[in-house]
Amino acid sequence: MYRSDDRDFYKGTTVLKNIPGIRDQRNLDRFETAMTLQRADEPLPKGSLGTQHYRAVHRHLFGDVYPWAGSYRRVRISKGSTAFCYPEHISDQMRTLFLQLARQNHLRNLSSDRFAAEAAHFLAMLNAIHPFREGNGRTQTMFLALLADQAGYRLRFERLRPKSFLAAMIQSFYGDEQTLALHLRRLMQRNRT
Query: Tens digit of pLDDT for each residue in 62-101?
Result: 999 999 999 999 999 998 888 999 999 999 999 999 999 9
Residue 190 clears pLDDT 90, i.e. is over it: no
Question: Angle, to 10 degrees, between the axis of helix 51-62 and the axis of helix 25-41?
Answer: 120
Distance of CA 143 to the CA centre of its chain: 7
Determine which helix (DSSP H) or strand (DSSP E) holds 78, and give its type and residue range: strand 78-79
Structural contact between residues 18 and 66, judged by C-beta atoms closer than 8 angstroms = yes
Assign domain 2-190 to its CATH architecture.
Orthogonal Bundle (1.10)
* Of 80, 69, 48, 192, the residue nearest 134 (C-alpha): 69
Is residue 133 helix, strand or coil? Answer: coil
The span from the CA of 139 to the CA of 159, in Å, is 18
